[in-house]
A = this chain, B = another copy of it.
């Protein structure tokens, strides 16, 4: 049986105090409808973007209470399917993104999704990489706005959070309180304008409680390898923490010294940028699958 959640049930911050809108067992699958990051408020090119309600930004559908999840566990989230709507929107403007100092007014752009492409204009038909911007669980302490990423996940804006990927989140509270939203039809690393191609959509995810393993930060596994995602005030800090945490994650599986593992990560691992435009920025450290296989590492199982 697949549970269903409509996009009527949204949160604007991740919080242990949010009341669950659905309770599921570990191993259950949920089909979750989402609004775009503007709660679908921008529907046409002539709409005044400055006039939208900025209190309704980055809604995440949920939260879902997963039976048996307790603080210290991991929540395994498999993204079985990711569907997106047929119209996207981008925005940028003063004080937003990397170019905010050069822009004088808020602008939005409607981008139709057609034949597997994002139609930026007549010339530019961009390839899609549908992804989930906001995904996570209730954080340890105070509520965190869905616009901000952290150890609980949230607005990580990471292009690898897509169909086929599996995420592991640290659980901070009973039931984990999982939610997601903010899909992008396409986005490049950095998300430099402050938005991807924002779209509503539907994600089908399977939620499982994993006992006996821990991670301080979200971990993403796909066919390419494993990424550890860290959000911080600066990219420099996020990269350093992500690198060290990845080394500490893999080290117990090997007979390598810290020095040797650091050299291996230098030769074959990758420090990568997810986004540089949210209240905290997000970086990831990636290790390719062939390294995991050579070291016979199977994470969290």
Chain A residues in contact with chain B, CB under 8 A? 90-93, 97-99, 102-103, 107, 109, 111, 118, 120, 123-127, 186-197, 234-236, 239-240, 243-244, 247, 257-260, 262-273, 276, 281, 283, 285, 290-291, 294-295
A197 and B264 CA atoms in complex are apart in Å by 10
**CB-based contact B190/A266 at 8 Å:** yes
Q: How many copies altogether? A: 2
**CB-based contact B90/A258 at 8 Å:** no
**CB-based contact A107/B259 at 8 Å:** yes
- Which residue of chain B has the shortest Cβ distance to A193 in the bound complex? B266
List of B residues within 8 angstroms of A263 by Cβ: 90-92, 109, 120, 193, 195
List of B residues within 8 angstroms of A268 by Cβ: 126-127, 186, 188
A188 and B123 CA atoms in complex are apart in Å by 34
**6 A-B pairs, CB-CB below 8 angstroms?**
A99-B243, A107-B259, A109-B260, A192-B265, A195-B266, A272-B273
- Which residue of chain B has the shortest Cβ distance to A126 in the bound complex? B268
- Which residue of chain B has the shortest Cβ distance to A274 in the bound complex? B271
**CB-based contact A244/B98 at 8 Å:** yes
List of B residues within 8 angstroms of A192 by Cβ: 243, 262, 265-266, 269, 271
List of B residues within 8 angstroms of A126 by Cβ: 267-268
